[in-house]
Copies of this chain bind each other. A is one copy, B any other.
Amino acid sequence: MKTYGWGILGPGRIAHRFLNDLPRCEQAGLAAVASRDLERARSFAGQYGFRKAYGSYGELLQDPDVAIVYVATPHPQHAELVQQALEAKKAVLCEKPVAVNGRQARQMVASAAENRQFFMEAMWTRFFPVNRQVKALITSGALGAVTLIEVDFGFGNWPHGPVDHPESRIYAPQLAGGSLLDVGVYCVSYATWMKGERPTAIKALSTRVSTGVDGMTAALFQYRDGAMAVLRSSVIQATRLTATIYCEKATVEVPDFYHPEQAIVRSRSGDVEDQVIRALYSANGATGFDFDARELMRCLDEGLLESPLMTWQQSVVVMDLLDEIRQDIGLIFPMD
């Protein structure tokens, strides 16, 4: 079994969560960690057993032991770091949102194609067994056409939001903060995946926090066949965290859709069987970040440049849709 050396760019909160799971993947080697702050890189490396720590991203990208680069920096840095990693001929797993806007996402994908390197958005939600089974069930046509999708992802405490001070990363315009890119990306990605196409009309409203980014956004999608989606994201109000996919013959409810343990299929027509789709996280104590890491290494084993579960084009479409929502609510970031 081939193993792959992983290099981590940006040893922050999300990288810590990812590193709970990565060592449980048999094919994963822990090669190197890089931060602009060398001490931070060293501390992270020591905690998880990485062999090397670097005080700059460029050093890690030159390291021949690194086969796969995991980009876990704040999202405004994704585009540039991904491009550098691809040019250094590394496979890349990039945290969501893959970029700040559709333009950046297109550049990243073009670079992956040009450099003939594997590239994937770490939209971990898509790789959960429950979600893959729900997607397969819907794609099978057994439930009839998708007619209405509701997805909401909200946390925080009104009116103060996720934290009591506006200095939070999530509130910072220069870090492309706000609910839409932080958690709305899950809703848009999930709906787009389940419906399998992009909407033909979009309308949205948002509530701004003091820094000007969106604290709460509600978006409506309409599809070619008349189906609709209602999406909500919030960093100032905790919500149900549930995806509901209405189909002609049954309704599928997925609590905690972004990392689900079950989905409930309820028939409306009587000609579909009610069922509960269950799948625990990995049995070995992983929390679900192993699913995308495993998928990436499976793709490398097979010589693929993208995963069929999270294609380049799908990442671009989601960023385009986020752009359209932002256009409708008038939210512009400094780096747009």
Contact = CB atoms under 8 A, between A and B. Distances in A.
A181 interface: no
Interface stretch (A112-120, A188-196, A224-232): A224-232
Contacts of A158: 144-145, 147, 248
Nearest to A158: B147
A226 B220 contact: no
Contacts of A201: 205
The majority secondary structure among interface residues of chain A is: strand
A238 B148 CA distance: 10
A144 B236 CA distance: 14
A230 B228 contact: no
A220 B204 contact: yes
Nearest to A248: B158
A228 B246 contact: no
Contact of A228 (B218, B222, B226, B269): B218
Interface of A: 144-145, 147-148, 154, 157-159, 201, 203-205, 207-208, 215-216, 218, 220-222, 226-228, 230, 232, 234, 236-240, 244, 246, 248, 268-269, 328
Given A145-B158, A207-B227, A218-B228, 4 more contacts: A203-B204, A203-B205, A203-B220, A216-B228
